[in-house]
Amino acid sequence: MTPHDPVGAVPTLHTRDRGLTRALWVTLVVALGLLTVAVALSAAGMPIDEADAPAPVGAATTPTPTATDPAVPATTLTDTVADTTVAGFLTAVATATPADFPKIASGAILEELQNDAQELEANGWSRTGAAIVDGVTVLESDDTTGTATIEACVDSTAVATLDQNGDRLNPAGTARALNLYSLARTDGAWRVVSRTFPDDTAC
């Protein structure tokens, strides 16, 4: 019969050696496993200490303005961001139906768009073409309140108002004017909320 150590007895030299051998093997197996993981991560080009790190905030692609949502994601309002905001808004206005106006505008500018659409419908007129932005300057911007006023040179040369017969009502030719747009940062994006005109609209 093979002798066994009684429960609670002090291990003999022979049993301690066997325990040390098992511990050593376990340590070696764990070390090899960790080394294998480290080599795999290194081969994949991923730093070991960042393997389980969460994706950095803002790593996703920045959304592009569309006809149904021309707003620009909120950042510091530079001239470039302001230009993109107004350009997206004007493009959306030219392609949207009156029913879609609430999706692309709010506040005073929404009311202006709706009134304009009602006038066109009442007279049996239609409008084609889209205005484009040819230069923008940020006049005032407050990141705390999320409001801004910008001046934009808007070229409406391609915009035509047509009567019931399809004849053009507004004169053809170059049509450029300065517009003052008020922007507001809502739902995490810059949006046009109102429009006025300076005393001198030449641009």
To the question of pTM greater than 0.95 for the whole model, the response is: no
Question: What pLDDT score was predicted for residue 104?
Answer: 84
| Weakly modelled stretches of the chain, pLDDT under 70 | 1-75
Q: What is the pLDDT of residue 63?
A: 44
For tokens 């609430």, the residue is 102
**Residue 99 is encoded by which pair of tokens?**
């029913």
Q: Which pLDDT score, from 0 to 100, does residue 201 have? A: 94
pLDDT at 73: 53
pLDDT tens digits along 19-58: 444 544 345 444 445 444 444 444 444 443 443 444 444 4
Domain 72-196 of CATH type 3.10.450.240: yes
Whole-Å CA distances, 194 to 59, 112, 184:
32, 8, 9
> Which residues have C-beta within 8 Å of that of residue 127, sequence separation ≥ 6?
120, 159, 160, 161, 162
Ordered by start, the domain boundaries in the chain are 15-50, 72-196
| Residue-level pLDDT at 108 | 92
Long-range CB contacts (< 8 A, 24+ apart) of 5-14?
none
How many CA atoms does the CB half-sphere of 113 hold within 13 Å?
24
